[in-house]
Amino acid sequence: MVNFIWLFFIAASFVAAILNGRMDALTEAAFEGAKSGVTVSFGLISVMVFWLGLMRVGEDAGLLRKIAVLLQPAVRFLFPDVPKGHPALGYIMSNMSANILGLGNAATPMGIKAMQELQKLNPHKETASAAMCTLLALNTSSITLVPTTLIAIRMTYGSVNPAEIVGTTLAATLVATAAAIAADRWYRHRYNRKPPRDAGRDAPPAHGGGAGPPQPPPGPAAGGFGQGKGEAVV
């Protein structure tokens, strides 16, 4: 679907440029966009290498394990249906730790592994479980202490103070995470309260408050009345 959307944008830009006689502007914008993409990529590579190196140092020093210990009560609260000691919890805590430090690219493999482990616990393989929905909500709106990617982009474009967005980013991600958790809890509570679709479908009908077996319908075999005459059969 995304490919068709981008194809539509590209085709529409060509048609608009031809109709307005601005093919030169379209060509210039295409080359400038390619140049900007390469420039931003180099800036991101340098910053990501730096922070991934720090991440590895912190991992070897036990920083991630300490963060995981601090996150353990919150993880147990957010994922009550995951058994204690299950491998999914470790991957979830690693994913959250990396997201908090602003290392979204490093958090992605841990998130994928966590989803795979949660899928093993999922009784309905064709539908995402509640824990999987919670992980997706947290991974999308995670609290971020150091917005590494945004700082790298601001550095690439010559920002005077690239790190000045740290405070506002922290506040925004706090609000986003709180909203995501609230929505996840509300939908989980709503889903748990919804009665099953087949409830009562297979239950036997009540007969006189449950006293005695069901009676057959009126007729010559059980009603004790002659057909069409209403006389008792002796």
Report whether pLDDT(217) > 60.
Answer: no
Contact in structure between 135 and 26 (CB atoms under 8 Å): no
Contact in structure between 179 and 135 (CB atoms under 8 Å): no
pLDDT computed for residue 197 by the predictor: 53
| CA nearest to 122, candidates 73, 74, 88 | 88
Question: CA of 105: how far to CAs of 26, 56, 109, 149, 173, in Å?
Answer: 33, 14, 8, 10, 17
Q: Among the ranges 77-86, 97-106, 178-187, which has the highest mean pLDDT value?
A: 178-187
Extract the tokens encoding 124: 């309905």
Query: d(Cα 210, Cα 200) in Å, to the nearest integer?
Result: 16
Extract the tokens encoding 25: 């502007």
Question: CA of 114: how far to CAs of 78, 110, 164, 183, 198, in Å?
Answer: 14, 6, 33, 21, 32
pLDDT computed for residue 193 by the predictor: 65
Q: Among the ranges 41-45, 124-128, 168-172, which has the highest mean pLDDT value?
A: 168-172
Extract the tokens encoding 109: 């493999």
Query: d(Cα 217, Cα 145) in Å, to the nearest integer?
Result: 74
pLDDT computed for residue 223 by the predictor: 41
How many residues does this entry show for the chain?
Answer: 234
Query: d(Cα 58, Cα 149) in Å, to the nearest integer?
Result: 19
pLDDT tens for residues 23-75? 888 888 888 888 887 877 776 777 667 766 776 776 677 776 777 778 788 88
Query: d(Cα 201, Cα 116) in Å, to the nearest integer?
Result: 35
The residue with tokens 């093919």 is 23
| CA nearest to 114, candidates 141, 142, 143, 134 | 134
How confident is residue 180, by pLDDT bands cut at 50, 70 and 90? very high
